[in-house]
Amino acid sequence: MFTGLVEGLGEIAQINRLAEGIRLALTPPFPVAELTVGESVSVSGACLTVVSMDAQTFHAEVSPETLARTTLGLKKVKDTVNLERALKIGDRLGGHLVTGHVDAVGTVRERREGPDFFTLSIDFPAPLAPYIIEKGSIAVDGVSLTVNSVQGHRFSVYIIPHTAQKTTLAHLKAGEKVNLETDIIGKYVARLLGPYRGGASDLTKDFLAEHGFL
């Protein structure tokens, strides 16, 4: 589990093709010695497992499923990525609950510059629509952001100078792909309410009383 508060920028040092998937060697902004084999690291929003380490890099294997769901298969050697180690119990939850299980890839459609901030407008696949709401939370390439507005299958987010300085979002341009993870709480709520979406008549006073709401 992560918070979406990126620790720093890492660099892809090597990409090795496997029979299935790929193996990445990544140079982190923190000491490699602080990592342990088996722990999870968010790499631009995708939860990967540390499988080995050397003096300067740690290695993680990317499965075919992760390649299909994320932008990691588009990355090249020397590309920068957002890195965040897993949340410790007792840490402050400064962003929101992020699992590192990317839902889909979105596309940056517009970047608008302001005096201090800039705004990104991002298109998302239709199945994500129920989970993206104005003022809700979303992770873009592993960065916890607040949705500023939603129109159709496009949302916008403000990027403050600190976030631009500490993450890869500063370099995004129109047409680029990004990893999207919607709020896990919203997904569970939608799942639980799924059987009762037939109309207002399904949500009755008796139903609310039976389930402890009245």
Domain boundaries, the chain: 8-85, 104-193
Distance, in Å, from the CA atom of 3 to the CA atom of 23, rounded to the nearest integer, reads 25
User: What is the full DSSP assignment across 149-184?
Assistant: EEETTEEEEEE-HHHHHHSGGGG--TT-EEEEEE-H
Whole-number pLDDT of residue 205: 67
DSSP element (H, E) containing 188? helix 184-193
Question: Residue-wise pLDDT tens for the chain (214 aa)?
Answer: 999 999 999 999 999 999 999 999 999 999 999 999 999 999 999 999 999 999 999 999 999 999 999 999 999 999 999 999 999 888 878 889 899 999 999 999 999 999 989 999 999 999 999 999 999 999 999 999 999 999 999 999 999 999 999 999 999 999 999 999 999 988 888 888 777 665 545 556 676 678 776 6
Distance, in Å, from the CA atom of 156 to the CA atom of 149, rounded to the nearest integer, reads 5
Among 125, 109, 124, 123, CA closest to 173: 109
What is the CATH T-level fold of the domain 104-193, as seen in this structure?
Elongation Factor Tu (Ef-tu); domain 3 (2.40.30)
Architecture of domain 8-85: Beta Barrel (2.40)
143 and 163 in contact (C-beta within 8 Å)?
Answer: yes
Distance, in Å, from the CA atom of 12 to the CA atom of 10, rounded to the nearest integer, reads 7
Whole-number pLDDT of residue 211: 72
3-class DSSP assignment, residue 142: coil
Q: pTM here? A: 0.88
Whole-number pLDDT of residue 199: 52
137 and 183 in contact (C-beta within 8 Å)?
Answer: yes
Whole-number pLDDT of residue 133: 94
End-to-end Cα distance, the chain: 34
95 and 184 in contact (C-beta within 8 Å)?
Answer: no
